Structure 1
């Protein structure tokens, strides 16, 4: 990318980040740690069907590696963990702000989620985010980034019934990512300036809040955000 275009991209991303924080900056308990070893993503063997976009793994990215979690405990849910995740898998777009991102399913059945399905995430910024479903269980699914995504890595969405859970009980919902920036320009925006990191936090805390609403229960405390950044000399 030429330098002028890079700065145009950064300016546009900055605007998106500020807007996202102002519009969906939900109160959170946020903690950040510098660590010497960020854990690897959960999937070692990612499906790569022929004649489809290449997977963009962490080894293809640049800059520091990040491990981030966004979690919320839900009390009095009308749904068990499996039922809640069925709602998420059926229509991911229902859980993200339309003004920031739009999940377009490009491979797979419209109301189902299976390994190998693909989504093109249209982001209101210079970069979009193609992903492939790498794993699906009754209570979770994992997406892997594809070529040209803003990041390089994996992200998993999980719901679990807590002790004494079930309908009317308590649930725990977690979004967990393992990734680094796609290239040097994105790294500046994400790590150096922190713009994309804050916009990302706004989107995934919005997602957690929508999960609480759809569950029919109430959040116990605030959404928790934990960020682990691999030290530069790791």
Structure 2
């Protein structure tokens, strides 16, 4: 067995153990969701193109391996006590308050505490296979976007957004939307082949949506909705035209 093979096996085993923890927590919390998974010919691309000054150190989707994944976690809350801007400001002030401690710890490594601005960075310590740094590449009153930095287990972006419900006056819609590929083959195996890491990811962001709903007061209009779109691996010769 070569050194490279041993490293891949060790890495995969570690990732699998972490992902299994996330999957177990998902089952323990038992949050109901409306989940849709589908194959698509072309998944959406990340929405933000950072300027040249923000580029150093980023780990963009193009540097990842395996299929592209677009995922969206969404919750609707009626009679919300916070406006979309107030909610996003609260999240930006203390994102850890919305994250399950059993899975992740957000530690700010760059930028002022108690607020969120473009250029801020976080080191995310996660038991499941998503350890790694991120940078804020977009910050608006009702949304912000994080991009992965070198060393993160994923390559891509994730956006947190709040808005007025499009069909229910007085209600609020919150979503977490990601556009990413795996950093390397080991992560891709645990995420796409085994599916454990997808469950760990779902556990974390479903918890986040549930915490948002609690923080907004009012009442959830339905279960958290989870959409997963998988684009065929561009590196797979079987997918070539």
Normalization by structure 2: what TM-score? 0.89
Q: Counterpart of 1:69 in 2: which secondary structure?
A: strand
Deviation (angstroms), 1:21? 1.7
Question: What's 2:155 paired with?
Answer: 152
Aligned pair in 2 of structure 1 residues 115, 19: CA closer, same or farther (>3 Å)? same
Aligned pair in 2 of structure 1 residues 4, 35: CA closer, same or farther (>3 Å)? closer
Question: What's 2:236 paired with?
Answer: none
Question: What's 2:204 paired with?
Answer: 203
In 2, distance between residues paired with 1:143 and 1:32?
24
Q: How does 1:62-73 map to 2 (within 5 A)?
A: 62-73=65-76
Deviation (angstroms), 1:8? 3.0
Question: What's 2:37 paired with?
Answer: 32
Deviation (angstroms), 1:19? 2.5
Among 97, 102, 107, the residue aligned to 1:104 = 107
Question: What's 2:226 paired with?
Answer: 225
Aligned pair in 2 of structure 1 residues 13, 163: CA closer, same or farther (>3 Å)? closer
Among 41, 50, 57, the residue aligned to 2:46 = 41
Q: Counterpart of 1:88 in 2: which secondary structure?
A: helix
Q: Deviations over 1:50-83 (max 9, x none)?
A: 9xx6100111110000001000111011111111
Partners of 2:78 and 2:172 within 8 A in 1: yes
Q: Which runs of 5+ in 1 are unaligned?
A: none
Deviation (angstroms), 1:16? 1.7
Question: What's 2:120 paired with?
Answer: 117
Among 75, 78, 90, the residue aligned to 1:75 = 78
Deviation (angstroms), 1:126? 6.0
Instruction: State whether structure 2 residue 173 is matched by structure 1 residue 172.
Output: yes
In 2, distance between residues paired with 1:164 and 1:64?
34
Q: Counterpart of 1:13 in 2: which secondary structure?
A: helix
Question: What's 1:93 paired with?
Answer: 96
Partners of 1:80 and 1:165 within 8 A in 2: no
Partners of 2:75 and 2:175 within 8 A in 1: yes
CA RMSD of aligned residues (A): 1.9
Alignment length, in residue pairs?
230
Question: What's 1:128 paired with?
Answer: 131
In 2, distance between residues paired with 1:25 and 1:129?
27
In 2, distance between residues paired with 1:183 and 1:82?
36
In 2, distance between residues paired with 1:228 and 1:185?
21
